[in-house]
Amino acid sequence: MDFWYTYIVLAEIYVLLGLSTNLLVGIVGIFSVSQAAVFGVGAYIVAAATMNDTLSFVPALLIASACGLALNVLVTLPSLRVSGDYFVVTSFGIQLLATAIFTNWTEGTGGANGLPGIPPPDIFGLAVTETRQFLVLSSVLLSLGCLAFWLAMRAPYGRLLRAIREDELAVAAAGKNILFAKVSAAALAGAFAGSAGGLYGSFLSFVDPSSFDLDASILLLTMVVVGGARTLTGSIIGPFVLLALPQLLALVDIPTTIAAASRQLIYGVLLIAFMLFRPQGLAGEKL
Amino acid sequence: MSAYLAVSGVNKSFGGLQALHDTNFEITKGKITCLVGPNGAGKTTIFNVITGFLPPDTGGVTFQGRSLDGLTRQQIVHQGIARTFQNLRLFIDLTALDNVLAAIPGQAGETPWGAIFRPFHTAAVQTRMREQAREILDHVGLADRANDYVRNLSYGEQKLLCVARVLATGAELLLLDEPASGMSAGALDNIMALMRRLQTEGKTLLVVEHNTRVVQRIADEVLFLHQGHLMAQGTADEITSDPELAKIYFGGAI
Ligand SMILES: Nc1ncnc2c1ncn2[C@@H]1O[C@H](COP(=O)(O)OP(=O)(O)O)[C@@H](O)[C@H]1O
Ligand SMILES: [Mg+2]
């Protein structure tokens, strides 16, 4: 049973992260490949703060979310100056930079060895120690995240973002503030990614740079592509499908050395196949 | 009395090409002014300069006595000037209604926190805005197309939607870039009637138009632009009967 709970909790955390990526990449059209870096910062903040008892889980998560917000605004700023293709390269650089810091800043992040022994969340005195309990916590947070996403997208704000993705000049001609709309979308996406990170670390009780590297960013993009861009349903389906893959691979008895490689292979094939044959994903719109 | 809109001494070059060459003109409030001239004369460039899409190299624009120098595109729309694009630039993946709604200023729920933390207020205001957008669509004759996606509209309908979108901004000076080009005869009558109607409702129009019959029917005043310079200004009859201008216009000479 715990096996299933673990799968659902992880998938839920990735849905939160998927909402963030979908907002930025799918809806606004800022093609970021550094969302895992923001995710990682959230995870390390909560890990560091709760491990040495500086803060309890709730304020630590709020701070992780606020830092994710600020950081994502900062890393998406170049997209306001350089367009499309150039930004992908910039964003790629940001992701590499983050991985380098996660790996080499040993005092802060534990370096390549990571940070073990992150305490379980403590919600106003109530310790969330069992996977079952964590499922409640992650489900509540995810519901709030989905509600926020849904409300934002059905409001004029969502329409403004879609319009910007389609034709920025036409939106400018309508007298709308494009800069503000984009920056606030980046902020919202960052808050989602930061809090997803905080949850992730506390759930696994261990973080290391490999969860927040370029592969992780690509995995996130794959989730958006497979689930479907710009819809809530797509953002939910993508992570559940893609995280089921390693579980399925675990069922067929292959050596662990090949397992990682074959996972990458399958993700790669899925990405290409969906882009070519089903660009709208399982339940979304064309990216 | 100062002019409603005054373009003075505007120069604009793209590399070696001088698109606007000491351009000067004024337009009068409440009139329909047509901007004519051969292709490449600089008509669209003038629109870009007035609306803040391109900074002039020298010279400037004043609107109702106030200089527009240094204002952003957004601020210029808020001053009351809005433009359409020669190549439409509609949001083709949105419905006609959403295209109009996207241009209505100052809506509740246009920020993430407004949308997330005040959902009921946002929804209530949206209901009103939808009503307003429907009225605008009705006004241009697209009421029955409100929920259709732009890509399913005919070219003529798309051009009307462009007008609906500038109307939604609430601006009183409308710059329309070739609103009638490529339209069938019936659609032409529609758009001409619409422009007249907008005029009677107090809008001022600056319209780029190639079709001399349209110009003769709607223009109170005609500006003739050639190689980025204002060559002549007058009534439609004066401009269209000038053989010199006709030669430039149709012969493309010089
Ligand atoms: N952004 C631009 N960059 C370079 N050249 C431009 C640009 N915009 C317009 N031009 C050139 O300026 C001249 C005037 O163009 P335009 O204002 O579009 O003419 P029209 O009167 O047909 O609308 C043309 O020669 C055009 O090629
Ligand atoms: Mg033009």
A125 or A247: whose pLDDT is higher?
A125
Integer Cα distance of A235 and A228 in angstroms: 7
- Kindly state whether residue A252 falls inside one of the protein's structural domains: no
In degrees, rounded to 5, the angle at the alpha carbon of residue B76 between the alpha carbons of residues A77 and B112 is 45
Identify the domain containing residue A58 by its residue range.
Answer: 2-214
Q: Return mean pLDDT, chain A.
A: 92
For residue A79, pLDDT over 50 is answered with yes
Mean pLDDT to the nearest integer, B141-168: 97
Ligand nearest to the CA of B46: 1
Mean pLDDT to the nearest integer, A268-286: 90
The owner of tokens 């030669």 is: B247
Integer angstrom CA distances of residue A187 from A1, A76, B167, B239: 37, 9, 32, 55
- Kindly state whether residue B163 falls inside one of the protein's structural domains: no
For B65-116, the pLDDT digits (tens) are 999 999 999 999 999 999 999 999 999 999 999 999 999 998 999 999 999 9
- Kindly state whether residue A244 falls inside one of the protein's structural domains: no
Three-state DSSP state, A243? helix
- Kindly state whether residue B46 falls inside one of the protein's structural domains: yes
Mean pLDDT to the nearest integer, A135-143: 97
Whether the CA torsion A68, A73, A77, A83 is positive or negative: it is positive
Integer Cα distance of A49 and B203 in angstroms: 61
Q: What is the ipTM of this complex?
A: 0.94
- Kindly state whether residue B138 falls inside one of the protein's structural domains: no
Q: How far is the CA of B19 from the centre of ligand 1 (A)?
A: 6
Identify the domain containing residue B245 by its residue range.
Answer: 5-80+171-250
Residue B199 sits in a domain whose CATH number is 3.40.50.300
- Kindly state whether residue A147 falls inside one of the protein's structural domains: yes
Mean pLDDT to the nearest integer, B141-149: 97
For residue A178, pLDDT over 50 is answered with yes
- Kindly state whether residue A192 falls inside one of the protein's structural domains: yes
- When divided into structural domains, chain B yields a total of 1
pLDDT, position B253: 43
pLDDT, position B140: 97
- When divided into structural domains, chain A yields a total of 1
Integer Cα distance of B84 and B68 in angstroms: 19
Using a CB-CB distance cutoff of 8 angstroms, which residues of chain A are in contact with residue B108? Answer: 156
- Kindly state whether residue A201 falls inside one of the protein's structural domains: yes
- Kindly state whether residue B128 falls inside one of the protein's structural domains: no
Q: Is B19 in the pocket of ligand 1 (CB under 6 A)?
A: yes
Name the pLDDT band for A81 (thresholds 50, 70, 90).
confident
Q: Return mean pLDDT, chain B.
A: 95
Integer Cα distance of A142 and A16 in angstroms: 6
Q: Which residue of B81, B97, B111, B173 to mutate against A (max A Cβ within 10 Å)?
A: B111
Q: Whose CA is nearest to atom 16 of ligand 1?
A: B42
Q: How far is the CA of A176 from the centre of ligand 2 (A)?
A: 24
For residue B1, pLDDT over 70 is answered with no
* CA nearest neighbour of B158 among B214, B103, B94: B94
- Kindly state whether residue B117 falls inside one of the protein's structural domains: no
- Kindly state whether residue B120 falls inside one of the protein's structural domains: no
Q: What pairing do the DSSP bridges indicate for beta strands B32-36 and B204-208?
A: parallel
Tokens matching residue A145: 């995240």
Q: What pTM, to 2 d.p., does this model score? A: 0.93
- Kindly state whether residue B13 falls inside one of the protein's structural domains: yes
User: What percent of chain B is modeled with pLDDT above 90?
Assistant: 90
- Kindly state whether residue B75 falls inside one of the protein's structural domains: yes
pLDDT, position B251: 66
Mean pLDDT to the nearest integer, B213-217: 94
